[in-house]
């Protein structure tokens, strides 16, 4: 089963692991960028929070890990993704780039989108439903 992780769940996977070996994990370039930006620059929000809680050496290792996305976490090919994004934008004109890319990734990969509770409170779940794409909320302990 293919799964697309949002930025918060990507951080969780890279720091401690989500622990579901039966899925192939993917993310989007935008969510990956936001996760790296939170790790490196921080801002005190829900994305950078996990990094603030680490000791300095652990924090440095975690930031290094964020900047080198493991090969076992997929990123959809932009050649396929962009065409899908344009198509979706025609049906869903209110979507921003982050959400367009997430919906397109789910289409291209035939994937379920895993959303953190914060991401699930936005417009994305409604659009995923409209597009007949699977999604679920994944809570971090």
Number of domains the chain is built from: 1
Contact indicator for 83, 105 with CB cutoff of 8 Å? no
- Quote the domain boundaries for residue 125: 2-137
Give me the pLDDT at residue 35, please: 84
The two three-digit tokens of residue 102, written as one number:
């997430």
Contact indicator for 106, 113 with CB cutoff of 8 Å? yes
Q: Averaged over 106-115, what is the pLDDT?
A: 97
pTM of the model: 0.86
Which pLDDT tens digit goes with each residue over 42-64? Answer: 655 555 556 566 666 676 676 77
Find the CATH number of the domain harbouring 76.
3.40.50.1010
Contact indicator for 105, 98 with CB cutoff of 8 Å? no
pLDDT of 29 higher than 70: yes
């Amino acid at each position: 089963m293919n799964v697309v992780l949002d930025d918060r769940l990507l951080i969780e996977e890279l720091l401690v692991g989500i622990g579901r070996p039966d899925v192939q994990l993917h993310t989007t370039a935008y969510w990956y960028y936001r996760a790296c930006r939170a790790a490196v620059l921080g801002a005190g929000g829900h994305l950078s929070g996990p990094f603030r809680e680490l000791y300095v050496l652990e924090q440095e290792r975690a930031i290094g890990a964020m900047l080198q996305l493991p090969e076992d976490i997929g990123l959809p090919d932009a050649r396929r993704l962009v065409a899908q994004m344009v198509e979706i934008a025609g049906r869903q004109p209110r979507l921003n780039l982050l959400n367009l890319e997430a919906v397109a990734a789910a289409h291209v990969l035939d994937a379920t989108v895993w959303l953190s509770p914060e991401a699930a409170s936005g417009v994305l779940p409604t659009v995923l439903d409209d597009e007949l794409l699977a999604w679920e909320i994944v809570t971090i302990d």
